[in-house]
Homo-oligomer: A and B are copies of this chain.
Amino acid sequence: MTFEIKKFNPAEMGMPLGLYRQISRVRASEFIFIAGQLSVDRSGAVVGKGDFEAQMRQVFANIGDALHSTNCSFANIVKITTYLVHSQDIELFMETRKKLFPTLFPDGGYPPNTLIIVDRLVQEEFLIEVDTTAAL
């Protein structure tokens, strides 16, 4: 099976409310499921206590490490789900995404995202968790 992934905003739908595509469509021979990533370093220590942008950057660095370990890149991501703890961080999430994503997804192939504000993550310090599915 030839790998093919298309991420797009169909004319039938409104534009996304941010840097994501409404749809990804994938023909793949393998799927990669990554555990929800938090802002920890390799020793498991929390990175960026109280600093949302630092946490978000660490989370995507961890996702990058996960992808590279399977010979994938961010282009292989087919869907993400983003959980934030504070609605006050939504704007900062949007701003950090604008800074970060054009580098991670240089061809503009932003994956579909679902953004949810929840009560808490596994430890009180964590401000963001990202769940990722990729394909190849």
**Which of B23, B33, B65, B135 makes the CB contact (< 8 A) with A13?**
B65
Contact between chains at B42 and A21 (CB < 8 Å): no
Asked if B119 contacts A118 (CB within 8 A), the reply is yes
Identify the stretch in A24-32, A48-56, A99-107 within 8 Å (CB) of chain B at 4 or more residues.
A24-32
> Which residues of the partner chain B approach A118 to less than 8 Å between Cβ atoms?
116-119
Interchain CB contact under 8 A, A13 and B26: no
Known: A12-B65, A40-B17, A44-B17. A115 touches B119 (CB 8 A): no
Instruction: Specify the chain B residue showing the minimal Cβ separation from A81.
Output: B131
A31 touches B78 (CB 8 A): yes
Provide the residues of chain B in CB contact with A26, threshold 8 Å: 30-33
- B30 engages A25 (CB within 8 Å): yes
Contact check, A87 vs B117: say whether CB atoms are below 8 A apart: no
A115–B36 CB distance below 8 A: yes
Asked if A41 is an interface residue, CB under 8 A from chain B, the answer is yes
Residues of B within 8 Å of A87, CB to CB, are 119-120, 124
Interface residue from B22, B32, B36, B65 paired with A34 (Cβ < 8 Å): B22
